[in-house]
Amino acid sequence: MKRDAEAIGIGTQLTRLGRDPQEQHGFVNTPVYRGSTVIFKTVDDLENSRAKYAYGTLGTPTIESLESAWSAIAGAAGTVISPSGLGALALALLTTLKSGDHLLMPDSVYRPTRTFCATLLAKFGVEIEYYDPVIADGIEELFKSNTSTIFLESPGSQSFEIQDVPAITRIARARGIKTIIDNTWATPIFFRAHDHGCDISVEAGTKYLGGHSDLLMGLVSANAQTWPELRKTYDSLAMLPGAEDCFLALRGLRTMHLRLEAAQRRGLEIAAWMAEQPEVMRVLHPALPSCPGHELWKRDFKGATGLFSVILKPQFDKQSIAAMLDHMEIFGMGYSWGGFESLIVPFDCGEYRTATRWAPGGLALRLQIGLEDTEDLKRDLRSGLDRLGGGAGSR
C-alpha cells in the first residue's frame, strides 16, 4: 500500500489505508478488537512471544489499522495513538527529554502543553525556556549545552503565528537537537511535518480526524531515526486508546479530506466577511494576505482549516462580549474544533505569556467554522456584533 500511496491522490488513499477486507472475511472495515489476553499455542511461543499481538497493551488489529494509515499519510516511519491530544503531546515530550535537559517552547503554545511543562516536566528537572514563535533561525542564539528538544506549533494556538519550520528544524538537526511539532490545525493533509524536517509530529485526532465531537484521541508519528525511542516510550506507558475510538477514527479518516476542504472554504469565507465588519479591527487567519506569516503559510502549507481568530476594536469590553456571545443562536461556546458545529470563545493570551507580549489592541475571539450554511452563520455573527455594539454597528 505504501507504494500505491505515493502514486494516488489523498482521497483515494484515505479510502484504502488501514483496512484489508481479505483479512476480515471480505468485510470492508476493520472490526473492533477488544481484549487483554492473547492465547499462545505452545510454551515455546509463550516464552518467546511468538505472536503478532502478545498482549492487549501492545496493540490490536483495530489500533494497528489506524496507526498504519496515519503513518502513510504523515510520511512517518511509525505512529502511536493515545487517548487524548494532550496525552499525545506528553508522550512526545517524554520521548525526547530527560532530567537536566533544556527545552525550547514557543510562547504561543497550546496552554495545556504549557501546564504540562510547568508541572510534570519541571518536577522532573527539565529546564523550560519560552521563545518568540517568529524567531526563525535566530533560535540558535537560545541553544545551551543541554538543549535537547525544540517544540513548535504552527500556527500558534489562538494567536496564529506561523513558524519557519524548515529553518528551525534545519538548525536543530545540525546540532543533534530533536524537534516536535503540534500539527493539529493543519493535519498531515495540509502540512506534512516530517517532510519539513520535524522528528515527531503530534495531532489531536479529537479534531478533524474524528470530525464529529464524539471522541478524544491523540496521534504521535515519528521519522525513522526517532521512531524506535517513541515506540519504546509508548510501550513503557501503555497509553492506549479505546478500541471503539479507533473504529470511529478510522471511519472519520475516510471523509477527512472532504471535511477539511469544506472547512477551508467556509473558514476563509467567514474570515474574509468578518474582516469587513465595522466592529472588527483585524482577522488572524494565515491564509489571508493581511495576516502576519501569510507568506510562510503560502510557501509551506497545502491548505487552511476552519479555525481562526478576530481582534475587536478597542471600544468593546468584557460586558460587550457577554452581550454578544450569551445569545448566539448557531455558534456554541465550547473548546476544541474540527467538528460539524460552529464554535466561538473569547480568549486572552496575555494572562500567561512570558517571552512575548500579547497586546492586540482589543478583545479577541476564536471561531471554529462548522458545516452550517455560511449565510446562516453570517446572520448569527451579525446579530451578535449588533449586540456587541449596542446596535451601533447594525446594517
What architecture does CATH give domain 61-252? Answer: 3-Layer(aba) Sandwich (3.40)
> Cβ distance 138 to 168 under 8 Å?
no
Q: In this structure, are strands 280-284 and 218-222 parallel, antiparallel, or unpaired?
A: unpaired
Q: What is the pLDDT of residue 29?
A: 80
pLDDT at 301: 98
The CA distances from residue 129 to 109, 139, 185, 352, in Å, are 12, 11, 23, 14
All three cell numbers of 320, joined, read 460587550
H-helix or E-strand containing 152? strand 147-153
Please provide the average confidence, as pLDDT, over all residues in the chain: 94
Q: How confident is the model at residue 312 (pLDDT cuts 50, 70, 90)?
A: very high
Of 181, 168, 257, the closest CA to residue 223 belongs to 181
DSSP β-bridge partners for residue 106: 131
Average pLDDT over residues 21-31: 81
Do the domains spanning 61-252 and 256-388 agree at the CATH topology level?
Answer: no
- Per DSSP, the three-state class of 309 is strand
Is the model's pLDDT at 109 over the cut of 90?
Answer: yes
Would you say residue 390 has pLDDT above 80? no
**What pLDDT does residue 5 have?**
54
- Tell me: the pLDDT tens digits for 239-250? 999 999 999 999
**Alpha helices in 198-242, H assignment, sequence order:** 227-237
Residues 6+ apart with CB under 8 A from 215: 205, 206, 245, 248, 249
Q: To 10 degrees, what angle do helices 374-388 and 318-325 make?
A: 140
Find the farthest-apart pair of alpha carbons in the chain and give their distance in angstroms, rounded.
Answer: 80
E strand or H helix that includes residue 113: helix 111-116
Please give the backbone phi and psi of residue 44, each rounded to the nearest 5 degrees, phi first: -60, -45
pLDDT at 228 over 60: yes
Task: For 165-210, write each residue's pLDDT tens digit.
Answer: 999 999 999 999 999 999 999 999 999 999 999 999 999 999 999 9
- In 3D space, the residue among 326, 324, 363 whose CA is nearest the CA of residue 346 turns out to be 363
Q: Is the dihedral of CA 338, 339, 340, 342 positive or negative?
A: negative
Residue 395 pLDDT: 30
76-93 pLDDT tens trace: 999 999 999 999 999 999
- Specify the pLDDT at position 213: 94
pTM of this structure:
0.93
Q: Which helix (H) or strand (E) holds 322?
A: helix 318-325
Closest CA to 267 of 282, 251, 287, 250: 287
CA 119, CA 104: separation in Å to the nearest integer?
A: 16
The 10 Å CB-count burial string (b at 16+, else e) for 253-262 is bbebbebbeb
Name every residue whose Cβ is closer than 8 Å to that of residue 240 and which is 6 or more positions away in sequence.
56, 57, 59, 63, 81, 82, 83
- Rg, Å, the chain Cα set: 22
Q: What is the CATH number of domain 256-388?
A: 3.90.1150.10
How far is Cα 70 from Cα 73, in angstroms, rounded to an integer? 5
Return the amino acid letter for 48.
N
- Looking at the chain, the whole-number percentage of residues with pLDDT higher than 70 is 97
pLDDT band at 24 (very low <50, low <70, confident <90, very high): confident
Whether the pLDDT of residue 391 is over 60: the answer is no
Assess whether pLDDT exceeds 70 at residue 71: yes
Q: Where are the domains of the chain?
A: 61-252, 256-388
Mean pLDDT of 6-11: 80
Instruction: Give pLDDT, residue 318.
Output: 94
Q: What is the dihedral of CA 264, 265, 271, 274, to 10 degrees?
A: -160
Residue 12 is predicted with a pLDDT of: 86
* Pairing relationship of beta strands 307-312 and 364-368 according to DSSP bridges: antiparallel
- Residue-wise pLDDT tens digits, 258-290: 999 999 999 999 999 999 999 999 999 999 999
Residue 278, classified by CB atoms within 10 Å of its CB into exposed (0-12), middle (13-18) or buried (19+), is exposed
Q: How confident is the model at residue 393 (pLDDT cuts 50, 70, 90)?
A: very low
Q: Average pLDDT for residues 120-143, to the nearest whole number? A: 96
pLDDT digits (tens, 9 = 90+) for 335-379: 999 999 999 999 999 989 999 999 999 999 999 999 999 999 999
Identity of the residue numbered 84: S
